[in-house]
Amino acid sequence: MILTHIADKNTHGKVFGGFVMKESLELAWVIAYLNGDGTNPVYIHIDDVTFLRPIPIGSIIDFKACVSYIKESLINVQVTADIIKDNE
């Protein structure tokens, strides 16, 4: 879980989407590392990124990740981010 701060703000006064994407990528990397063979994971492809609504500053975001597919040295990790507390 992450509490969003004013430093994460975009020009519209909401959480910058790049911040959410960065946190998602870092979580996916950790999950791939923990479920892999001990080597550092390398991003090969990023699927869809969908923002359903803006996230107000001060909101609490819950990130969840799960491994959805493993084949040889490839690992597919799915990450979702849900707003737990909307600060509006």
Alpha carbon distance, N-terminus to C-terminus of the chain: 18
Q: How confident is the model at residue 87 (pLDDT cuts 50, 70, 90)?
A: low
Number of domains forming the structure of the chain: 1
Name the pTM for this structure: 0.87
d(CA 57, CA 73): 39
State pLDDT tens for residues 21-66: 999 999 999 999 999 888 999 999 998 899 999 999 999 999 999 9
30 in a domain, yes or no?
A: yes
d(CA 87, CA 36): 37
Strands 2-3 and 74-85: unpaired
Give yes or no for residue 13 having a pLDDT over 70. Answer: yes
DSSP 53: S
41 in a domain, yes or no?
A: yes
80 in a domain, yes or no?
A: no
67 in a domain, yes or no?
A: no
84 in a domain, yes or no?
A: no
Note down the domain range covering 13.
Answer: 6-60
Q: Which amino acid is at 49?
A: V
Sign of the CA dihedral 50, 48, 76, 28? Answer: negative
81 in a domain, yes or no?
A: no
